[in-house]
Amino acid sequence: MNEKITSRECIMQLIRTRMASRHAMQRLLRNSNAGITFEMLQIMSCLWSEQGVTQQTLAERTAKDKACLTSLMTNLERKGLVCRHENPKDRRNKLVYLTEKGEEFHQRIAPQLKEYYDRLERILGKEQIKLTDKLLKDLQHAIETY
């Protein structure tokens, strides 16, 4: 095939890939009876790496606006997976933590997430994953510095 790939086509493929990734993760959550959405998983995933972060930090790491994040946090609290505590250094900010139930959820879903990522690595190979990561970071930088 002798197609000329343009930067626009590259961005369109990136968007399609993002949607495919999102749909695959939603299927995994549905098949696991996880009871949370893809967006909630993004928040939980951040907290698995680091707890006691501000909602602003979570918003930045998940590319969510404050209103959306507040709604997600409320739903996660209702499910008993996270809790918010006043930041002693700045009472206007809340720090977010996993609850015991949130930790248990992590232990339950982690093997399925690992299997998902391991499968991608088996299909693509470690070198292809590393190259893709570098190219995506380069693309992000080029877009952000426009």
Listed by start position, the domains of the chain span 7-140
DSSP conformation letters of 36-88: --HHHHHHHHHHHH--SEEHHHHHHHHT--HHHHHHHHHHHHHTTSEEEEEET
The pair of three-digit structure tokens given for residue 46, joined into one six-digit string = 């951040």
DSSP 3-state assignment of 3? coil
pTM here is 0.86
CATH code for the structural domain at 7-140: 1.10.10.10
14 pLDDT band (50/70/90 cuts)? very high
Residue-wise pLDDT for 57-107, tens only, equals 999 999 999 899 999 999 999 999 999 998 888 878 889 999 999 999 999
Geometric angle at alpha carbon 126, from 17 and 123, rounded to 5° = 55
DSSP 3-state assignment of 125? coil
The pair of three-digit structure tokens given for residue 97, joined into one six-digit string = 């933590």
